[in-house]
Each structure stands twice: as C-alpha cells, then as structure tokens.
Chain A
C-alpha cells in the first residue's frame, strides 16, 4: 500500500516551454501533497504544499507564478513549470500524506527535468 506515482519519469524540453508533472496516489486518498526539488548530491527542498480543493502554499523564494500547482482531486496533484529555463533543470519529487492526523509522507519516484 501507500504507492505514489509520477509522470513523466524524465522530460527534456526547450527553454521557454512549459512542462507539466503529474503526481498520483494510487491506493489511498491524499488530503495533502507536497512538491520538492532536489539538486545533485543535495537534500530535498520543499517547494510547496497543496491541499485538495484549495490554493497551494509556497515556500519562501519559490515563485508561485512559475511553478503552478493544482490539486483538483484527492488522488492527483500537478506541477507545471512555466517558461522553463536551464536553471530549472532538477529532480522534482512529490509526496502524499493520507490524513491530517498522520504525518507520514509517501514519495513518488521523481521526475528528472532537463531544460535545454
């Protein structure tokens, strides 16, 4: 149980284009999903927290207009990197938490984004 999937697993795009990453909880309903970014050999950095049906909460320094998050259902959250640039190249990982009273986060397999 507690499986989280991400799609695509890797994507290469040209500078200036937008990329959408999907995060799904496969066998549970996720009231809260999180989006992280991880650069090589570094820790996970939280970008934003999204609750189903409400606006995402972004961490300081993360541009909400550049990283659009939609959490339209209890099993799906999407992250759209708008007008991507080479510095946005990174490993993007989502996680899902099943219930407000349980802190456990289950992570997806990650999406590697390369912007040329």
Chain B
C-alpha cells in the first residue's frame, strides 16, 4: 500500500518568514495530494490540494509543488503569521471509487513573533 513520509516533524519560524514542509510518497499511481491544517482539538481543514496533471498550485500565501518523477510534493507558506501555527498533514490517494487518503505523520508549525 501507499506510504507517505513527512518532514520535518516540527518547524519553528519567525513571523514573516517562509515555511516549507516536504512529503514523499511510494505509490507512483497516486494522483491526488491534499494538505490539511489541524488546530488543537479540531478536525483537519483542507487548505490546498494538487492533482498529478499539474506541477504547482498557488492560493494567496500558500503554494504546493509536485514532482511526480521524484514522488515528492511540498507545501510552501510565505509571509507566515501567528495564526498559521498548527499541525499540517500531507496526504496522497489514487482516484477511483475505492479512493482513500494515506496521511503523512504531520508537521507542527510554530510561528513566533
């Protein structure tokens, strides 16, 4: 089955700096890669996703890049703010009726003033 690795496990940046979180996946058939933000005591919230037919997607301060050959994808957050502090999870899945997400281990992002 699919295996998703995520690094780093913790990340501390100063407000205004950029943060990058990286994930690798094992199954070359995976073609959908969402990123979720989870605040303490809450459910995960979808912040951005990318499909394998594109290499990059951007939404304001958030961007995701995908390298299918290397089987890795990254989340980039620019101009970080304290409210970006949370745990971020990457995930991968294969399209289809049996589609299910395989999650990475999570990255705890701390944005300091």
Contacts and interface: CB of A to CB of B under 8 A. Distances in A.
Query: Size range of the interface on B?
Result: 20 to 34
Interface of A, secondary structure class, is: strand
Interface stretch (B11-19, B57-65, B68-76, B91-99): B91-99
Given A43-B89, A44-B44, A103 B104 contact: no
A13 interface: no
Most chain A C-beta atoms within 10 Å of own C-beta, residue among B89, B93, B101, B105: B101
A62 to B, nearest CB: 13
Contact of B104 (A43, A107, A109): A43
A107 B32 contact: no
Interface string B86-113: 0001000101111111011110000000
A44 B103 contact: yes
Contacts of A42: 105-106
Nearest to B4: A43
Given A43-B104, A43-B105, A49-B100, A103 B43 contact: no
Query: Size range of the interface on A?
Result: 20 to 34
A106 interface: yes
A104 B44 contact: no
A104 B99 contact: no
18 contacts: A34-B100, A42-B105, A43-B104, A44-B44, A46-B100, A46-B101, A97-B99, A101-B95, A103-B93, A103-B95, A105-B34, A105-B101, A107-B36, A107-B45, A107-B46, A108-B43, A109-B43, A110-B43
Interface of B: 32, 34, 36, 41-46, 49, 89, 93, 95-101, 103-106
